[in-house]
Amino acid sequence: MKNKFCLIAFSGAVLANAAFAVNWKYTTQKPGGNWTSPGFSTSGWEQGEAGFGAANPPGSFIQTEWSSSDIWMRRDVQLTSIPDNPAWLVHHDEDLTVYLNGKEVLNMPGYSTSYQLIPLTDSAKASLKKGRNLLAAHCHQTDGGQYADVHLVDADNLPALAELMDFTLPPGRKFLTQWGESLNPETVWQEYPRPQMKRNEWTNLNGKWQYTVTEKSAARPDEWAGDILVPFCLESQLSGVQRLLEPYEALWYRRTFPFNGDKSKRLLLNFEAVDYISTCWVNGKKVGSHKGGNLPFSFDITDVVKEGENEIVLQVTDATADYQLRGKQVLNAGGIFYTRVSGIWQTVWLEQVPQAYIQGIAVHAGMDGVVKVDARTVGGKGTLELQVLDGSQQVALVTGAAGSSSVTATVNNPMLWSPDSPHLYVLKVRLLGADGRVIDEVDSYTGLRTVGKKVDKNGDLRFTLNGEEIFHWGPLDQGWWPDGLLTPPSLDAVKFEIDWLKDAGFNMIRKHIKVEPRTYYYHCDKVGMMVWQDQVSGSPSPRWTLLDPNPVDAVWPDEHHAQWMEELDEMITLLDSFPSIVVWTPFNEAWGQHRTMDVGKWIVERDPSRLINIASGGNFWPVGDIADRHAYPNPDFLLQDVRFDDYVKVVGEFGGHGWPVQGHLWDPQKNNWGYGGLPKTIDDYLSRYKESIHVLAELKRRGIAGGVYTQTTDVEGEINGLMTYDRKVIKIPAGELAEIHRVLTQPSE
């Protein structure tokens, strides 16, 4: 069922781009007389700040409570001049009628799901006048929640919703990590972005691009607003722009690149991640579009590229609402949800490949030493050859059947991958022609390990790695940065954080509602850090009932479910070969949870080599391998509930103990918070942390097989990290944490 609530807001001063709170005179009792006329008295009406509502649907900005079936509103607007292209900026649910100087000028029946820009009709434009104008509106709703928001704007100079609604933009002050402070725009993110399938011929396109922002339906711009530093999103400090992209806007990029390559090869333009809908042109010719904000995509630009200078233009739109898979991003950041991210936010690069080439590989390797490589090829089939090396020493060399898309090798006396010994083997995968000549070759790697579960002597299911019991112990990791938002400022920053967590005695990271750059998982592979990988969430969501019986799923239309499944499948394909990933988590706390049993059965069959945590924190359905409860601040689980006897039992979130460090807060003026109230002293904070670990250790003894502490760092308004958001202050030293954690990571008796 759709959510509905009503909010009305107009602003004439928006035409002058002033940021202010929009105040209205309003009543919920039907007014008599001609209430839309300029001379009508509003004596007895209330005054409130937009928006008005009684719920929080996606994209809402409720500042005055309103829950009746109707609301009538009036507001005066002073215009110093009449713009050439005035428009209504409208988002409504449900029936909305707008009046200008006593005349009905807009009627919007039903409901919308995002902001729409609607030009004023000639008749409505004729009703505008210099000086005082009266805006009036009536909103009616029948059931569910309500929402309506209307602004009078200049379509040639669109405002930000943050200005219209008077909420805080990302902090304009500099709030940087040490890596952000030392960032060199000329050498930003220069690492090869695909460590499991490397080629020698590639060109990094990170650096300064031109950008501008237009109305969503506008044609390609002729003028550009300035430079933006790729791969940092528009909203981030490191981009050099730090501007919010609105749902009714389009973000445009432009850059040129020289080409003097081998004309006998194909040229691929690769985007590691762009949020959310992208369309790309090269030399004025459209080369493709992509939908989805978290995963890589490529365009073959061979036929449009030319010798010498070439031009790339990219258009991006991003609603940050509804069914879109957006994770923790919201239009109005606050609480446990964060600043939106729009546009390019991971590396952009060019790659030359042969006419027939390896498009992708999937590597599957187990503790038995068997290494299987499946390849996707483009431009013709060949024969696959696989070489396995331990360092520089060859340990296997095999050739597959002619025309086969897979090849299998066996490593004798294998060195196994684990957190204590993260041994990796080098792989060279070659595509051979009929004459045995090498057509294409890529470098890869793998770790030999087997993920599983088994019943212990007390009858409880435990995690295993290579057949041995292992307690999964890690932090909830949001992967957000104050200067780059979703984009880490550098690979060194990524390495610092993972290495610190390893030194602190963690053997696992729960990567929360985010897909990281591929180099992140490569470092986890190298240092021996297991990963629980979440699917990025969208909405709508059902009621969150934790582990209560008989949960209810949200209803998603087939079209949006298909997109959700496509992005889940692509994420698994992207990350399938990383040995560090041991658990997939499709849903978290009922966010966007739908068709759970269908999704669960599909993913169990899709990847039988890993364990499935169908719904971290509930809502629990009987599918997959894991039953997961969230409990704050101290961990807890319904250990006596027989429904979970056939599942590995974990506490997928707990803790969240907060400690604010002055001088290292995202916004000192806002409510910075942690779970369970804030401690008085740092010693009290440490004592609370130790108590939570003590409780988890007791739960481990009683059958709990893993735990996730919230969280690695502070994030925006959350101050419950083990280090500050800028990573400059460590609240508890890594060595001390490792000693505290020993009770969890040491073998069970």
239: Cβ contacts below 8 Å, ≥ 6 apart? 228, 229, 232, 233
pLDDT per residue as tens digits for the range 674-692: 888 899 999 999 999 999 9
CA dihedral 61, 67, 72, 75 (to 10 degrees): -30
Instruction: Tell me which residue of 340, 412, 399 sits closest to 373, measured CA to CA.
Output: 399
Confidence of residue 16 (pLDDT cuts 50, 70, 90): very low
User: Are the C-beta atoms of residues 509 and 497 closer than 8 Å to each other?
Assistant: no
User: Are the C-beta atoms of residues 388 and 395 closer than 8 Å to each other?
Assistant: yes
Confidence of residue 58 (pLDDT cuts 50, 70, 90): low
pLDDT at 662 over 50: yes
pLDDT at 464: 98
Looking at this protein, which amino acid is placed at residue 660?
Answer: P
**Which residues are 393's β-sheet partners?**
390
Distance (Å, whole) CA 464 – CA 453: 5
681: Cβ contacts below 8 Å, ≥ 6 apart? none
User: Are the C-beta atoms of residues 724 and 176 closer than 8 Å to each other?
Assistant: no
As a whole number of Å, the end-to-end CA separation of the chain is 52
Distance (Å, whole) CA 508 – CA 519: 17
Distance (Å, whole) CA 382 – CA 399: 11
Buried (b) or exposed (e) across 24-39, using 16+ Cβ within 10 A? bbbbeeebeeebbeee
pLDDT at 164: 73
Bond prior to 668 in cis (omega within 30° of 0):
no
pLDDT at 626: 98
User: Are the C-beta atoms of residues 601 and 623 closer than 8 Å to each other?
Assistant: yes
pLDDT per residue as tens digits for the range 376-424: 999 988 899 999 999 999 999 999 987 788 999 999 999 999 999 999 9
Beta pairing, strands 52-53 & 202-204: unpaired
Q: How far is CA 377 from CA 353, 361, 423, 566, in A?
A: 11, 9, 29, 20
pLDDT at 7 over 50: no
Q: Can you tell me the mean pLDDT for 40-52?
A: 89
**Which residues are 649's β-sheet partners?**
627
733: Cβ contacts below 8 Å, ≥ 6 apart? none
Confidence of residue 3 (pLDDT cuts 50, 70, 90): very low
Distance (Å, whole) CA 304 – CA 278: 18
Tokens of residue 422, six digits: 């993260």
**Across all residues in the chain, what is the average pLDDT?**
92
Buried (b) or exposed (e) across 614-643, using 16+ Cβ within 10 A? bbbbbbbbebbbbbbbbbbbbbebeeeeee
The DSSP code for 13 is: G
User: Are the C-beta atoms of residues 337 and 328 closer than 8 Å to each other?
Assistant: yes
The DSSP code for 223 is: S
pLDDT at 60: 67
Question: Which percentage of the chain shows pLDDT scores above 70?
Answer: 95
pLDDT at 381: 82
pLDDT at 171: 62
User: Are the C-beta atoms of residues 600 and 621 closer than 8 Å to each other?
Assistant: yes
The DSSP code for 135 is: E
The residue ranking higher by pLDDT, 155 or 630, is 630
pLDDT at 18: 37
Distance (Å, whole) CA 248 – CA 114: 8
Helix (H) or strand (E) holding 503: helix 491-503
Distance (Å, whole) CA 330 – CA 56: 11
Tokens of residue 87, six digits: 């428009």
- Identify the weakest region by mean pLDDT among 82-96, 299-313, 630-644, 679-693: 82-96
- What is residue 16's three-state secondary structure? helix
User: Are the C-beta atoms of residues 354 and 379 closer than 8 Å to each other?
Assistant: yes
Q: Can you tell me the mean pLDDT for 465-491?
A: 98
Q: Can you tell me the mean pLDDT for 306-317?
A: 97
Helix residue spans in 78-147 (DSSP H)? 122-127
**Which residues are 510's β-sheet partners?**
476, 532
pLDDT per residue as tens digits for the range 263-305: 899 999 999 999 999 999 999 999 999 999 999 999 999 999 9
Instruction: Tell me which residue of 650, 589, 645, 638 sits closest to 622, measured CA to CA.
Output: 645
Confidence of residue 671 (pLDDT cuts 50, 70, 90): confident
- What is residue 65's three-state secondary structure? strand
Distance (Å, whole) CA 346 – CA 295: 9
User: Are the C-beta atoms of residues 344 and 253 closer than 8 Å to each other?
Assistant: yes
Q: Can you tell me the mean pLDDT for 662-685?
A: 89
User: Are the C-beta atoms of residues 10 and 23 closer than 8 Å to each other?
Assistant: no
pLDDT per residue as tens digits for the range 236-247: 999 999 999 999
Confidence of residue 147 (pLDDT cuts 50, 70, 90): confident
pLDDT at 429: 97
Distance (Å, whole) CA 624 – CA 649: 12
Distance (Å, whole) CA 642 – CA 622: 12
Tokens of residue 511, six digits: 């990567």
pLDDT at 616 over 50: yes
474: Cβ contacts below 8 Å, ≥ 6 apart? 501, 506, 507, 508, 509, 510, 530, 532, 707, 708, 709
- Identify the weakest region by mean pLDDT among 141-145, 214-218, 313-317, 729-733: 141-145
Looking at this protein, which amino acid is placed at residue 289?
Answer: S
- Give the distance from CA 698 to its chain's centroid: 34
Domains (ranges, CATH) in the chain? 13-165 (2.60.120.260), 178-353 (2.60.120.260), 367-446 (2.60.40.10), 451-745 (3.20.20.80)
Q: List the strands of the sheet with 131-140, edge to edge.
A: 46-49, 23-27, 70-79, 131-140, 95-100, 103-108
Distance (Å, whole) CA 601 – CA 624: 7
Confidence of residue 90 (pLDDT cuts 50, 70, 90): confident
Q: Can you tell me the mean pLDDT for 2-6?
A: 33
Q: How many CA atoms lie within 13 A of 460 on its CB side?
A: 20
pLDDT at 21: 62
- Please state the pTM of the whole predicted model: 0.89
CA dihedral 78, 82, 84, 86 (to 10 degrees): 40
pLDDT at 748: 67
Looking at this protein, which amino acid is placed at residue 621?
Answer: W
Residue keyed to tokens 């013709």: 380
Residue keyed to tokens 């029946």: 109
pLDDT per residue as tens digits for the range 640-659: 999 999 999 999 999 999 99
Distance (Å, whole) CA 121 – CA 119: 6
pLDDT per residue as tens digits for the range 352-361: 999 999 999 9
pLDDT at 522: 98
- Give the distance from CA 607 to its chain's centroid: 23
